Amino acid sequence: MGRVAKGVKCSVAGCGKEAKRSLSAEKVRMAGLSVSSSERRAYLCENHYKEYKKKTKKERKIEQWRYKSV
């Protein structure tokens, strides 16, 4: 059983909601969300995960193009 299933809280500063996703803390910081620098994983609630997806949409699309076979 993972930490999200156990009920860990969202890692974003000022948010106390229950986390729904776990991502690399470095990727979350690069997207512009403020998480503590000491952790390796960032736990995001539903709203912050949606914000993360919106901010990284362009980068994810570029990665898809990069690996798409010709």
**Two structure tokens written together for 59:** 């980068």
Report which secondary-structure segment, H or E, holds 21. strand 21-24
**Two structure tokens written together for 7:** 């009920």
Indicate the length of the chain as a whole number: 70
pLDDT in tens, 38-51: 889 999 999 999 99
Q: What is the pTM of this model?
A: 0.84
CA separation for the pair 11, 15 (Å, rounded): 7
pLDDT in tens, 9-61: 999 999 989 999 999 999 999 999 999 878 899 999 999 999 999 999 999 99
**Domain locations in the chain as residue ranges:** 3-67
